[in-house]
Amino acid sequence: MLRNGCRPKTAFRAAKEAWPSTCERCGADIGPTYDSISSKARKHGDAPRGCRACADRARAEKYRLDEAELARTITKANIKLLEPYTNNRTRVQSICLNEGCPRQGKPIKVLVKAVRGGAMACKYCAQRAIDPDVAVAIMRDQGLVEPSSAYKRVDEPWPGVCQRCLCPVQPRLHDVMRGQGACIFCAPNTPLTKQQAWDRALSYRFRPHDPDAFKGTNTLWAGTCMDCLTPVNPCLGNLYRGQGACNSRSCKLTGFKDTEPGLVYLVHRNSDPAMAKIGICEDSARNTRLKVHQRNGWEVAYTRPFAVGLHARLVEGAVKRLWFTERGWSNGAARGEDRSDGYTETVLLDDPTRDEPWALLTPLALWTDAMVEAERLGFDLDEQRSDTSES
């Protein structure tokens, strides 16, 4: 034991029993067995052994990079070290230099061993982790939930308050990112009692005429806007998805205005059946139309801004006439789909009933129709609102 760097502190008892000792290299208390020390000494010769901490340090020092190799590794990983490099097995504080990194210059911990094995240095760029600030923004924007505690893990329930019904909820960030609803109390498919439906309607600033007329969250329910007293006829499911209960000029703060900048967009989703949809919305930071579509499973394929919203509206109308009148394609209303997600503007991507060459469509082909119609109407597709404002 002494020849192998282990100084026993008690009398020998058994070959395969831990023998309390002191490591002569670092002075730590260790407990190797005589059998393990003697067998390795017979095989490899006498040498300091028996202390795991010393063995780890020796192994790390053996594989420690020299200055030239470290410089090549750092350059390849595109990071900047904030503290001295120790060894491959010790994480070093660094800054990711990748463009668009979610950390935005905040420090990260990098394991050089993993980088040399082919892994990305920044786990946030590799999407193995989510920055806490980004996680909070996703939960607020997509889940409409205000977190009440710090972010921990993507698959762990995260306490918060639903901004629709103000109920305490615990959604998982992973579910919200996949498009699932964050609140079980105001989800559109949650069965509601008439009293629950009434309370939810009031939370959306909408007072139904007849509480007993409620049939379901996707059924129209006549009532009155509590802000402007205008008669309205919404369904609770659409209110949950972000649509307003009242379309009056005084209540609809984010409504489309012909005199303001507008946006033409094409969205699609790989549902069964796969489909695409043309639409318009106002081109401003406060508009949530595209976010609502994304929460409902749509993927934004193309967008085109216009300095005047009327131009966007005319392009949308021309495309709808081209598809559903001139070519005779069927929209969601003609196919008998539920009244949601702009079903009068949807078109199937694969429809054998259409004449060739329109049986199989792609989002690019549909967007080309929109661009052709815009050019035919005489609108400059490359117009810049900044140029318009300067003139």
pLDDT tens per residue across span 281-336: 888 877 778 888 888 888 999 999 998 888 888 899 999 999 988 988 888 777 76
Q: How far apart are CA 196 and CA 184, in angstroms?
A: 13
288 and 340 together in one domain: yes
Amino acid sitting at position 217: T
275 and 384 together in one domain: yes
More confident residue, 387 or 298: 298
298 and 384 together in one domain: yes
End-to-end CA, the chain: 90
379 and 299 together in one domain: yes
pLDDT tens per residue across span 334-379: 776 655 556 678 888 888 888 878 888 999 999 999 999 988 888 7
Helix (H, G, I), strand (E, B) or coil at 341: coil
205 and 148 together in one domain: no
Given 22, 46, 61, the domain boundary residue is 61
More confident residue, 267 or 297: 267
Q: How far apart are CA 113 and CA 18, in angstroms?
A: 33
105 and 139 together in one domain: no
**Does the residue 250 lie in any domain?**
no
**Does the residue 78 lie in any domain?**
yes
109 and 225 together in one domain: no
42 and 83 together in one domain: no
Q: Domain count for the chain, please give it.
A: 5
307 and 279 together in one domain: yes
**Does the residue 9 lie in any domain?**
yes
Residue 26 CA, chain-centre distance (Å), reads 49
What is the DSSP code string of 76-99? HHTEEESS----TTS-EEEEE--T
**Does the residue 127 lie in any domain?**
no
Range of the domain at 221: 194-240
282 and 368 together in one domain: yes
Order the strands of the 160-162 sheet from edge to edge. 145-147, 160-162, 168-169
268 and 338 together in one domain: yes
Query: pLDDT value at position 386?
Result: 40
284 and 369 together in one domain: yes
**Does the residue 352 lie in any domain?**
yes
**Does the residue 256 lie in any domain?**
no
Strand partners of residue 21: 8, 30
